[in-house]
Structure 1
């Protein structure tokens, strides 16, 4: 952000151009494997036997609250505990910010395990209720 706009830019002695620079386009890239908030909420609240919620936060974060029915395995233990995750189900991976969830998603993809991950901030209360917020890595 430039405070003072173009006049401040010029007053600071920076160069300007009157040439046509064309158009600047922005492309939003949807990250592979990302589940949107609505689909995640539906999976988390429907208690469907064909879906698994995989919480990959830390043990300390689990103490703050867990979404009911979720399997809790810290991200750094998933590789050694992968047998605890029932096969043949739709897996939704989440953590506090989406970073660890994405790491586990990549591990699953390498192992041929279909899954999706939530690339958003998740705030979970002691009673299991949760709120999904935005983060800077959004889809």
Structure 2
């Protein structure tokens, strides 16, 4: 019984350590709201707006000046994302953009931001959209 408890403790400790390491790795991408993203875009002109939604979603509406690279094509098209610009990644509500922002941050891209409320938050705040 003591042997099983020792193994269980070591397993739990290992899981905690892996979770902590994963959290640190993900910390490089910054989460910002659409309001914060708009402020950032007003202050910095060297911004690359990355839309990771589907072509169908993008054809309905998008942020002005954004570039569409659907999440399913992202790894193949990563070379289209400039390393010398601040990057704001968005989708509909922030769920698809988050892993893309994290991937960019872990692969040498600096100043990467995930817009946590996505284009839905942008729209709700009354910010301009392109149709």
- TM-score, normalized by length of structure 2? 0.64
- Unpaired stretches in structure 1, ≥5 consecutive residues: 1-30, 125-129, 134-139
Q: Determine if the alignment matches structure 1 residue 131 to structure 2 residue 123.
A: yes
Deviations 1:38-94 (A, max 9, x none): 2212345x4954111101101110111121110111012111111111221100000
Q: Aligned residues, how many?
A: 97
Distance 1:57 1:48, change over 3 A: same
Check whether the contact 1:102–1:117 (CA below 8 A) recurs between aligned residues. Answer: yes
- Unpaired stretches in structure 2, ≥5 consecutive residues: 1-25, 126-131
Moved over 4 A (4+): none
The structure with more radius of gyration: 1
Q: Secondary structure at the match of 1:123?
A: helix
Q: Secondary structure at the match of 2:93?
A: coil
Q: More strand per residue: 1 or 2?
A: 1
Equivalent of 2:81, from 72, 75, 85?
A: 85
Check whether the contact 2:62–2:119 (CA below 8 A) recurs between aligned residues. Answer: no
Equivalent of 2:50, from 48, 54, 71?
A: 54
Q: Secondary structure at the match of 2:78?
A: helix
Q: Determine if the alignment matches structure 1 residue 37 to structure 2 residue 34.
A: yes
Q: More helix per residue: 1 or 2?
A: 2
Distance 1:54 1:119, change over 3 A: same
How far did 1:132 drift?
4.3
Name the structure, 1 or 2, with higher relative contact order (CA <8 Å, separation 6+): 2
